[in-house]
Amino acid sequence: MRAVIQKSFGGPEVLEVAEIEQPQPLSGEVLVRVHASSVNPVDVVVRAGYLPLLGQPPFGVGWDISGVVEVAGPGARYAVGEEVYGMPFFPRAATGYAEYVAAPSRQLARKPKSLNHIEAAALPLAALTAWQGLVDKADIKAGDRVLIHRAAGGVGHFAVQIAKARGAYVIALASAAKHDFVRGLGADEVIDYRTTDYTEVLHDLDVVFDSNADGERSARVLKPGGVLVSIMEHANPERAAQVEAAGRRFAGVSVEPDYAALEAIAELVDAGKIRPHVSETLRLEDAGKAHELVGSGQTVGKVVLAVR
Amino acid sequence: MRAVIQKSFGGPEVLEVAEIEQPQPLSGEVLVRVHASSVNPVDVVVRAGYLPLLGQPPFGVGWDISGVVEVAGPGARYAVGEEVYGMPFFPRAATGYAEYVAAPSRQLARKPKSLNHIEAAALPLAALTAWQGLVDKADIKAGDRVLIHRAAGGVGHFAVQIAKARGAYVIALASAAKHDFVRGLGADEVIDYRTTDYTEVLHDLDVVFDSNADGERSARVLKPGGVLVSIMEHANPERAAQVEAAGRRFAGVSVEPDYAALEAIAELVDAGKIRPHVSETLRLEDAGKAHELVGSGQTVGKVVLAVR
């Protein structure tokens, strides 16, 4: 089968499409015929060698997939022909940018019925990051006042929609060109971080969802006991200690496969509460270009690879 | 740290306690200070080399653990000091019979409050096998008539209790000496398989939970459309085809880590609906003896290793 691999750390040019052996599902696993795979910032930093999750190359790339069960391993949870999505094996083996992926059943969920595979592939890692931060860690509730950094980004645009679906009052940070998009997601207020220092106009928030490594400033706008959900600084004990010393709660998030949350997300998608935004759809051969786009930090929503 | 390993396939005597390096939790993972680990039949068949899940030895042994979070990796779901239980990494790396285990947060759940670690360690793999078969696959409902094979065994004694907790009418197979035990679990009828051929006295059941590789006969007592949940024959396509051709549904089960089901099980335990039965508690040094007991197929409930 065809899959994107890398034989060394480096720029987008190290990504290549190779012919590799098709994986075999173990007991409890399924072989997924992948229709689409999406690109996340973590793919880019792993590729470059900044985050050594996978040891030394060669290895595969990416985690997010949506596709159809081609082979159901013995005892698997899904039947041949079912449509599934997920981010199997993260943060271990990266096998996502490929024609076939073998995955444990309980690292997948049924694809939202209202989405095609391109859209569904945009969900897993980014939407689970937002879910595990806002729901599992911060337990946001109706009426909570929540600030979302980088609200037009891959994780951010899901965070806005999940917070709204839970009834929160959402204040979003984005550059002016993206304000219409972010308002369309349901944000109640949008602040242009380029012209306004949000720490001067916000205070006493219940939750800040910080996907911008801006923890020190973010903590300042929280009420006592408020929660700083941190995606980028989750492994920074100094930040955690500082936030806790100031009487706020530090909640670092490291996303994990989670079929139960994927099922909850699929329900919200099919109820019209969450909609992935795909800004670019490229092909496996264009994985390098996709990494350039995502690595720029300027994309709106998600970049997806159409595998077939 | 001390852990049980095996350097070759073979009998219980290949198990040895070795001094090995303490694992390190990755992002999203926790390091669990293990208080107890339980022994499952799968540990025995992997040890002997009949089920080559782990490649060639040397490797560790076992999956079920209960313990206390000693180190929370960046972004992990649990805090230092929380009590957790689970069967991390199954069916891959076996790391359970050990003083410390590093595990993904979402392959663990909070230990039932009403149990000590010895009891909690008895739950994960066996109770999840029963749960994933009866609840996920067969979707048993109040009033369903359900037959449970080997009802006094590790998996069986949980299957009886889970079926009862869902309101089913439970018919249990066990030898006469174990009938009082099985009735105490809540079974409505108990049949001594040594003196009675259950296929002659039962018919039109909704579900058979077959943990005895007795699929052909089991299917005969199902109603049309009834479900054969098969633990031992899940990888037997001929059995599946035969059952389906007879108008019954074949549901093979291969257990997987499942924090959401572990949470549901913990709730039922704390509500008094499920109680693990531990027949023997041994120490790490006695892992070989524990394997002998479990390998005999005659143990009631579970055999647990007290790690500290």
Around B95, how many Cα atoms within 13 Å sit in the side-chain half-sphere? 23
Q: Name the residue of chain A whose CA is nearest to B255's CA.
A: A28
In angstroms, the separation between the Cα of residue B306 and the nearest Cα of chain A is 29
Q: pLDDT digit string (tens) for A27-44?
A: 899 999 999 999 999 999
Q: Name the residue of chain A whose CA is nearest to B29's CA.
A: A254
In angstroms, the separation between the Cα of residue A229 and the nearest Cα of chain B is 10
- Contact assignment for B75 to A253 by CB distance below 8 Å: yes
C-beta separation of B84 from B67 below 8 A: yes
Beta strands in chain B (DSSP E): 2-6, 15-19, 29-39, 59-60, 64-72, 83-86, 100-104, 108-110, 145-148, 169-173, 189-191, 205-210, 222-230, 249-252, 278-283, 302-306
- Contact assignment for A136 to B73 by CB distance below 8 Å: no
Output the pLDDT for position A207: 98
144-203 in chain A: CB under 8 A from chain B: none
278-307 in chain B: CB under 8 A from chain A: none
Helix or strand (DSSP H, E) at A249: strand A249-252
Output the pLDDT for position A234: 86
- Give contacts of B255 with chain A, Cβ < 8 Å: 28, 75
Stretch A98-105: mean pLDDT, rounded? 97
Helix or strand (DSSP H, E) at A1: none
Output the pLDDT for position A276: 98
DSSP readout, A276-291?
Answer: --EEEEEEGGGHHHHH
Output the pLDDT for position B304: 98
Q: pLDDT digit string (tens) for A238-280?
A: 999 999 999 999 999 999 999 999 999 999 999 999 999 999 9
DSSP readout, B246-270?
Answer: TT-EEEE------HHHHHHHHHHHH
Output the pLDDT for position A92: 87
Output the pLDDT for position A181: 98
Q: pLDDT digit string (tens) for A161-201?
A: 999 999 999 999 999 999 999 999 999 999 999 999 999 99
3-state DSSP percent of chain B in helix, strand and coil, to 5: 30, 30, 40
Task: Give the pLDDT band of residue A235 (cuts 50, 70, 90).
Answer: confident
In angstroms, the separation between the Cα of residue A236 and the nearest Cα of chain B is 8
Output the pLDDT for position B113: 98
3-state DSSP percent of chain A in helix, strand and coil, to 5: 30, 30, 40
In angstroms, the separation between the Cα of residue B36 and the nearest Cα of chain A is 25
For the record, the structure tokens of A13 come out as 């040019």
User: What rounded mean pLDDT belongs to chain A?
Assistant: 96
Output the pLDDT for position B235: 84
For the record, the structure tokens of B270 come out as 């704390």
Boundaries of CATH 3.90.180.10 in chain A? 2-123+276-306
Output the pLDDT for position A261: 98
Among A75, A235, A259, select the one facing B252 at the smallest CB separation: A75
48-87 in chain A: CB under 8 A from chain B: 53, 73-77
- Contact assignment for B74 to A256 by CB distance below 8 Å: no
Would you say the C-alpha torsion B170, B172, B176, B178 has a positive or negative sign?
negative
- Contact assignment for A136 to B258 by CB distance below 8 Å: no
Task: Give the pLDDT band of residue A143 (cuts 50, 70, 90).
Answer: very high
Output the pLDDT for position A71: 97
Output the pLDDT for position A179: 97
Whether A45 contacts chain B with CB within 8 A = no
Query: What's chain B's Rg over C-alpha atoms?
Result: 19
Output the pLDDT for position A33: 98
CATH hierarchy code of domain A2-123+276-306: 3.90.180.10
- Contact assignment for B234 to A74 by CB distance below 8 Å: yes
Q: pLDDT digit string (tens) for B179-234?
A: 999 999 999 999 999 999 999 999 999 999 999 999 999 999 999 999 999 999 98
Stretch A113-122: mean pLDDT, rounded? 98
Provide φ and ψ at A142, rounded to 5°: -55, 135
Boundaries of CATH 3.40.50.720 in chain A? 126-252
Residues lower than pLDDT 70 in chain B: none
- Give contacts of A255 with chain B, Cβ < 8 Å: 28, 75
Q: At what angle do helices A259-270 and A124-131 cross, to 10 degrees?
A: 100
What is A126-252's CATH superfamily? NAD(P)-binding Rossmann-like Domain (3.40.50.720)
Provide φ and ψ at B129, rounded to 5°: -60, -45
Output the pLDDT for position B52: 85
How far apart, in whole angstroms, are the C-alpha atoms of residue A303 and residue A282? Answer: 8
How far apart, in whole angstroms, are the C-alpha atoms of residue A91 and residue A128? Answer: 13
